[in-house]
Chain A
């Protein structure tokens, strides 16, 4: 009789919330972005996303096998890492590089720290940063989506408008164009005109970053499901908007408009799916605000002043590193007492 009753100390509030449920929610939230990637990049998405997921899952399985630990694939976190990593890769990346990235994400980004819950950096971003450091050229060649005809500004396209037999065409991303605009102090308008394209996704960029609308739908789903809190996304977007607006007001020829900054690059993917990672973000609400503002500020600093066109992955890693300090200074005060040191 008694063995059918769960005996546990209070609180006795129960909610059917498990790691598995959270991860499945995140996967559902990623569906629109995956669909958009499939629509725009066709066969490339079809290769990259399964490659990343399979190699991430296989790495986790192997790590557990080596450590003789119980299998942890059931929580689906490796699947999430694989999808997020794939979505943050350029479509034309060779599959072998994606395999290296996913293995690094899981093995060095997560398993070495002791598995899910112990990792201090976001695994997908560790993998992506590693790939950027190793294969800089591969990680910065952007392909024109299959649905876009040649009216957009192109870099490597010679026979514009003609149906030539080419495997793929490359194109500057809005952020790369914005970098050029900053250097030449003009032509930011060209980028601003692509605002609509950044919303729908018909533009060059990483697999899952191009369609802002798809990411927004996924993000709103997660917010409604309460899988993520609104604090971090709001803080990142607000602080990025403020810094972009300051630059825009100073020189609207050189710096693109803040709205385009928010919809282009990895901003939305990061805001909803990466920065909100409960393991690597601060625990308290105040901490989340600080974390979000930091991510937004560092991203804009890198985008506007730095060498790289996109900085959000470094911003997330840096703020992941600051997270323990933020948590330490944002301890909650228990009712009627001081936080213990």
Chain B
């Protein structure tokens, strides 16, 4: 079923009402691991947004023009993962060649993105929800931005918390999980505002 939800609406919905991290809890590992510093979080967020937008587009084309016509859609998962990995490698080489400064700024994060489940998740949601090409672009960009917003907020909070006397058993990851939970509850307020279909 194709419908007419505009790409822009889907973009907004993917950032707020259906934030891929705070409502679907995808990409938690790098979210928890790399949210210690605001600068790093911003870098990783940007990289994820970029990769997510482009791999969603790429996977859209591959799924609809290669896999479906050949009747190979049972290979979707493997092909998508391969595409994402190859794309990240390609971006890495490209960035290294043409902008070494950005390459060193991003450091380990570029290869890390390969295994970020939010990226694969975005591509799979696009198939499940039957997006058109423009909708997929909107969704990929929105999901990436939503992820970036969440990790930057988290980094700010964690930097603030670094001065507080958190009880021993809660230091580090547990308190980050609690904060994520409260953030997710706060994002509930956006529910029903725009529909992602």
Q: Taking beta carbons and an 8 Å cutoff, which residues of A are in contact with B?
A: 67, 108-109, 111-115, 117-118, 120-121, 126, 129-130, 132-133, 298, 301-302, 305-308, 311, 313-315, 317-318, 321-325, 327-328
Contacts and interface: CB of A to CB of B under 8 A. Distances in A.
Contacts of B193: 301-302, 305-307
A67 B167 contact: yes
Given A112-B166, A112-B170, A120-B179, A321 B189 contact: no
17 contacts: A109-B182, A111-B167, A113-B166, A118-B161, A118-B165, A126-B182, A126-B185, A132-B188, A133-B188, A308-B192, A311-B189, A314-B189, A317-B183, A321-B153, A322-B153, A324-B159, A325-B152
Chain B's interface size range is 20 to 34
B68 interface: no
B164 interface: yes
A117 B185 CA distance: 22
B191 A120 contact: no
A133 B185 CA distance: 7
A204 B196 CA distance: 34
Interface in B167-191: 167, 170, 175, 178-179, 182-183, 185-191
A126 B38 CA distance: 24
Contacts of B189: 298, 302, 306, 308, 311, 313-315, 317-318
Contacts of B178: 108, 112
A306 B191 contact: yes
A328 B190 contact: no
Contact of B186 (A115, A305, A318): A318
Tell me whether chain B's interface is mostly helix, strand or loop, or mixed. helix
B185 A130 contact: yes
Contacts of B187: 314, 318
A120 B161 contact: yes
B121 interface: no
Interface string B58-75: 000000000000000000
A121 B182 contact: yes
A328 B189 CA distance: 25
Contacts of B160: 120, 323-324, 327
B185 A321 contact: no
A133 B182 CA distance: 11
A115 B183 contact: no
Given A112-B167, A120-B160, A314-B185, 9 more contacts: A113-B164, A118-B163, A129-B188, A130-B185, A302-B189, A308-B192, A317-B189, A318-B187, A324-B157
A165 to B, nearest CB: 38
A317 B152 CA distance: 16
A309 to B, nearest CB: 11
Query: Which 5 pairs between the two chains have the least Cβ-Cβ distance?
Result: A314-B189, A307-B192, A118-B164, A317-B186, A324-B156
Nearest to A319: B186
A322 B152 CA distance: 9
A133 B23 CA distance: 13
Contacts of A113: 161, 164, 166, 175
Contacts of A317: 182-183, 185-186, 189
Nearest to B174: A112
Contacts of A132: 188
Nearest to A126: B182
Contacts of A308: 189, 191-192
Given A301-B193, A302-B193, A120 B157 contact: yes
A318 B189 CA distance: 9
B194 to A, nearest CB: 8
A188 B2 CA distance: 35
Nearest to A115: B165
A307 B161 contact: no
B185 A129 contact: yes
A114 B167 contact: yes
A73 B54 CA distance: 54
B161 A112 contact: no
A321 B186 contact: yes
Contacts of B161: 113, 118, 120
Contacts of A301: 193
A324 B160 CA distance: 6
A16 to B, nearest CB: 26
A302 B186 CA distance: 12
A306 B191 CA distance: 6
Nearest to A119: B164
B188 A325 contact: no
A289 to B, nearest CB: 18
Interface in B148-162: 152-153, 156-157, 159-161
A313 B189 CA distance: 8
Contacts of B164: 113-114, 117-118
B171 to A, nearest CB: 10
